[in-house]
A and B are shown apart, each in its own frame.
Chain A
């Protein structure tokens, strides 16, 4: 019997073992996870231009983690994948006498999209008809909202504009 046949068999053996290596079971660091929610603070009179409020601060309600909401010139907020809402305190003139806290609730639907077998799923969000609710009306510094993009599937553009 020719030796080559045995070589072929051992070769196939080897290839089979190689294929069975669990390489694709590792989720690469570069894979994009669930997107964050991006907000722009816009001028009430001209809602195309940005307007930065004085002494502005955001706090999350329901998490002990420290929120680091700024990325370049946008406000980047994590949405809660466990709930259909996320709540934040938008604070104007923080630490001053005329401090004004507006508690804002973001309303959304969650849709989980398959990435691959190693990384599993990422959450995308769709903003509800009324994307945000003010939980403590009266003396609001936030005057309104405009949806810039209702599907939150990436972080390339802003999703919601806050008018003040």
Chain B
């Protein structure tokens, strides 16, 4: 797990330097308008539909036995700067903490907008964007086992985890709703192939609390903490762009 995080960190760093390198190129934008004017042909940007998948979650499947999941991403260009964005996913995660062992599984969707703030050169199509999502999950949680909190253990065997009866078992029909502030970038690797990284700051709006338990892990939202309603997440996507044009005469 630790190795994985280091790995992800390095890839992210490389991607960042790539964007920064490109950023320096844009200083050419500051040339006098008269020079650029002749090049500035007003051209309509074609509409595009982009779809892809989260590589991080795919990698996690291989590296972590306690995780199964995927996320599909898609966005639709509305105008030059604005994109309608959607993420669909399914996750199953088993967590062992000091006192409890649980499995959380379910599906989620995230729907919202991305606003591209990056001024591309003619022919380039990179994105540095800010976005907003409304997200919802439908999930269940199973308490596999737990150890009772006992400050002064007296009887023998009290530290042995309980794995049947009492509070263990499945909690169905759980939901959570939250908002995500998204920031990220998409870099054009090949003509229509994009590599993207996004960071998400999540704010829980509401969730169905499981009986005699809590939503410890919400698919799509990740970890829910006791103290506050914020969470964080990210994805690392590869996506394919499908340009199209609406017939217009």
Contacts and interface: CB of A to CB of B under 8 A. Distances in A.
Interface of A: 1-2, 5-6, 8-9, 12-13, 15-16, 19-20, 23-25, 27, 31-34, 60, 62-65, 67, 78, 80-83, 86, 110-123
Given A118-B98, A120-B146, A15 B232 contact: yes
Given A16-B201, A118-B97, A120-B98, A82 B232 contact: no
B130 to A, nearest CB: 8
B216 interface: yes
B201 A34 contact: no
Contacts of B181: 12
B166 interface: yes
Interface of B: 20, 23, 26, 97-100, 117-119, 128, 130, 146-152, 154-158, 160, 162, 166-167, 181, 183-185, 199-201, 212-214, 216, 223, 225-227, 230-234
B183 to A, nearest CB: 5
B183 A9 contact: yes
A106 B130 CA distance: 63
B167 A114 contact: yes
A82 B230 CA distance: 37
Given A1-B26, A12-B201, A114-B167, A119 B99 contact: yes
Please give me the 5 A-B residue pairs with the lowest Cβ-Cβ distance, nearest first. A120-B99, A33-B151, A16-B232, A78-B154, A80-B155
Given A19-B232, A120-B147, A1 B152 contact: no
Contacts of B183: 8-9, 12
Tell me what chain B mostly uses at the interface: helix, strand, loop, or mixed.
Answer: loop
A49 to B, nearest CB: 30
Contacts of B232: 15-16, 19-20
| Interface of A (DSSP majority class) | mixed
Contacts of B230: 19
Contacts of A63: 154-156
Contact of B117 (A1, A31, A121): A1
Contacts of B216: 117
A114 B151 CA distance: 16
* Max chain A Cβ within 10 angstroms of own Cβ: one of B146, B147, B155, B213: B155
A64 B151 CA distance: 17
B149 A119 contact: yes
B176 to A, nearest CB: 15
A9 B99 CA distance: 36
Contacts of A119: 99, 149
Nearest to B227: A24
B146 A81 contact: no
A38 B120 CA distance: 74
A115 B167 CA distance: 12
A122 B149 contact: yes
Nearest to B228: A19
B31 to A, nearest CB: 16
Given A1-B128, A12-B183, A33 B226 contact: no
A121 B99 contact: yes
A152 B149 CA distance: 15
Contacts of B162: 112
Contacts of A27: 98-99, 149
Contacts of A118: 97-99, 226
A116 B152 contact: no
A110 B162 CA distance: 13
A1 B118 contact: yes
A61 to B, nearest CB: 10
Given A31-B149, A120-B149, 16 more contacts: A1-B26, A12-B181, A12-B201, A16-B200, A16-B232, A23-B225, A63-B155, A78-B155, A82-B155, A82-B157, A86-B155, A112-B148, A112-B167, A113-B167, A115-B149, A120-B100
